[in-house]
């Protein structure tokens, strides 16, 4: 009887052990840069060389929040010469706005919008657009001010290999947004106009979503490779 009881206990213990092991997973929140002896990283405001305004702040914030989630990695906002490394972000696009932001859907100002344009002839206006830009991320170990200026210059694009450059990656990004239009009633003193409602907020929300997408891509494609 005692033997059977002991065997039963061993079976139960083995089952519990196997169950615990089956749920085991590697902690993905550990510092991915520890192999490069990087425990502190400073992140100055990203450089925006794209034609899209107000892009640098949300992109810097999302990348910083992502890195701040890793155990054993301290993230410092702004420039800090005592950090082990500096992460530089450079946002780039084509030179002309109409090359970056393209219309994918239009609407004709007839039907209920016809009263909004007064005596003007009906016309097409964009209601949905897409935009494209890229994010270049440079991770540099203890750079001098002169090296930072060089790496972020136009000449720096040609420098892909350097002893202090731990990471040099480019992420291509695409976003889209829809414009909202509401009819207005023209007054005696006004020929009427198409009234775009909340379009600025819609565009800013789209930019924020694209920045979140960039941070997740950076984590999955770049950081997971370390």
Q: Which tops the pLDDT comparison, 62 or 202? A: 62
Task: Please name which of 155, 60, 134 lies closest in space to residue 91, comparing C-alpha atoms.
Answer: 134
CA distances from 10 to 2, 16, 17, 22, 137 (A): 12, 10, 10, 18, 54
What is the per-residue pLDDT across 14-63, written as a single tens digit (0 to 9) for each? 444 444 444 433 445 899 999 999 999 999 999 999 999 889 999 999 99
| Maximum average pLDDT range among 9-23, 97-111, 151-165 | 151-165
CA distance linking residue 164 with residue 147, whole number of Å = 9
- The number of residues making up the chain comes to 226
Domains, the chain: 30-225 (3.30.160.150)
Task: Please name which of 152, 153, 149, 150 lies closest in space to residue 138, comparing C-alpha atoms.
Answer: 152
Asked if residue 36 lies in contact with residue 77, where contact means CB atoms within 8 angstroms, the answer is no
Mean pLDDT value across residues 110-133: 66
Question: Percent of the chain beyond pLDDT 70?
Answer: 69
pLDDT for res 225: 73
Interhelix angle 56-68/199-217, rounded to 10 degrees, is 40
Task: Please name which of 43, 40, 46, 47 lies closest in space to residue 79, comparing C-alpha atoms.
Answer: 43
Write b or e for each residue in 207-219: b if 16 or more Cβ atoms lie within 10 A of its Cβ, otherwise e. beebbbebbeebb
What are 136's two structure tokens?
Answer: 């270049």
CA distance linking residue 89 with residue 73, whole number of Å = 18
CA distance linking residue 5 with residue 159, whole number of Å = 70
* 210 has pLDDT over 50: yes
Q: Which tops the pLDDT comparison, 183 or 140? A: 140
* 96 has pLDDT over 90: yes
Query: What's the pTM?
Result: 0.73
């Amino acid at each position: 009887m005692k033997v059977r009881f002991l065997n039963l206990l061993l079976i139960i213990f083995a089952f519990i052990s196997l169950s615990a092991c089956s749920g085991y997973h590697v902690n993905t929140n550990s510092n991915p840069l520890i192999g490069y002896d990087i425990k502190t990283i400073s992140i100055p405001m990203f450089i925006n060389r794209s034609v899209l305004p107000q892009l640098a702040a949300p992109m810097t914030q999302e990348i910083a929040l992502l890195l701040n989630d890793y155990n054993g990695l301290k993230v410092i906002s702004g420039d800090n010469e005592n950090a082990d490394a500096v992460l530089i972000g450079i946002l780039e696009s084509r030179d002309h706005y109409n090359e970056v932001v393209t219309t994918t859907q239009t609407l004709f100002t007839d039907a209920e919008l016809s009263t909004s344009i007064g005596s003007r002839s009906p016309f097409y206006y964009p209601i949905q657009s897409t935009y494209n830009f890229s994010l270049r991320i440079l991770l540099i170990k203890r750079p001098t001010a002169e090296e930072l200026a060089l790496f972020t210059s136009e000449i720096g694009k040609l420098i892909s290999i350097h002893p202090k450059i731990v990471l040099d990656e480019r992420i291509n990004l695409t976003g889209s947004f829809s414009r909202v239009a509401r009819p207005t009633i023209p007054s005696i003193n006004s020929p009427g106009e198409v009234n775009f409602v909340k379009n600025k907020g819609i565009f800013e929300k789209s930019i924020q979503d694209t920045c979140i997408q960039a941070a997740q891509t950076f984590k999955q494609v770049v950081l997971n490779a370390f």
